Amino acid sequence: MRTEQQIYMDYQNAKYTAERLEGFAVQTSDLSVLELSDALEVIPSCWEGEPCSRFLEKGRSIFEDLQTIAEQLYKISTAMQTAAGNIYQAEMAALEYVRDHG
């Protein structure tokens, strides 16, 4: 049977991993919104023609992909945090039950 400390450490590790994943989601979203969207707005003033149109189309596609990835990372992070909390509570309840009913 796992100890209370092991259960707690696993919970903390899962929370840390979920928080890092949430940080990646924010960074990915910021990258697409702050950097890529600004670039896509400026490019038409410097470049014209069919190559520019194709480049902008690809850039918009990448922007949408990055936003989707950021949303998915955030959802995964939230699910991990919820699961970690549920598992922690269940393991602590099981540990308490074993202590009480030996």
Q: What is the pLDDT of residues 40-77, one digit of tens each?
A: 999 999 888 999 999 999 999 999 999 999 999 999 99
Please give the pLDDT value at position 17. 97
What type of residue sits at position 35?
Answer: E
**Cα distance between residue 34 and residue 41, in whole Å:** 11
Please give the pLDDT value at position 18. 97
Q: What is the CATH number of the domain that holds 50?
A: 1.10.287
Please give the pLDDT value at position 32. 84
Q: Total domain count for the chain? A: 1
What's the whole-number average pLDDT of the chain?
94
DSSP labels for 4-52?
HHHHHHHHHHHHHHHHHHHHHHHHHHHIIIIIIHHHHHHHHHH--SHHH
Please give the pLDDT value at position 13. 98
Return the number of other C-beta atoms located less than 10 Å from residue 63's C-beta: 18
The contacts of residue 91 (CB under 8 Å, 6+ apart) are 2, 7
pTM of the model: 0.83
